[in-house]
């Protein structure tokens, strides 16, 4: 079990988990960047609202990435089927 200290918007958080500290630091930096982006648009926004908007941005990225991954899998499956058909023709 690792214990990692991270800073998000200047606040210190201690995260405990199985993932390596470097990975947790990378995630924290990413979250910090998303929150800062929200605050750039409205610096007077309450922290909870900013956190929710940042979560929505991250969820959107995740959803789009999963969608692209699924589309890529389908394309690969079609290519594999065509390749197998061509190999059968070549005999």
User: What is the predicted pLDDT for the residue at 91?
Assistant: 78
User: What is the predicted pLDDT for the residue at 78?
Assistant: 98
The domain locations on the chain are 2-90
User: What is the predicted pLDDT for the residue at 17?
Assistant: 96
From the first residue on, what is the mean pLDDT of each consecutive set of 10 residues in the chain (91 residues)?
97 97 98 96 94 97 99 98 95 78
Strands 11-17 and 2-8, how do they pair? antiparallel
Is residue 34 within 8 A of residue 57, CB to CB? The reply is yes
User: What is the predicted pLDDT for the residue at 71?
Assistant: 98
This prediction has a pTM of: 0.81
């Amino acid at each position: 079990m690792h214990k990692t200290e991270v800073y998000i918007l200047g606040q210190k958080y201690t995260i405990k988990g199985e993932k390596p500290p470097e990975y947790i630091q990378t995630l924290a930096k990413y979250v910090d960047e998303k929150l800062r982006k929200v605050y750039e648009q409205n610096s007077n926004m309450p922290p909870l609202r900013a956190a929710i908007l940042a979560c929505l941005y991250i969820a959107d990225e995740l959803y789009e990435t999963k969608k692209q991954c699924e589309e890529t899998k389908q394309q690969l499956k079609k290519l594999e089927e065509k390749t197998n058909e061509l190999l059968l023709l070549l005999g």
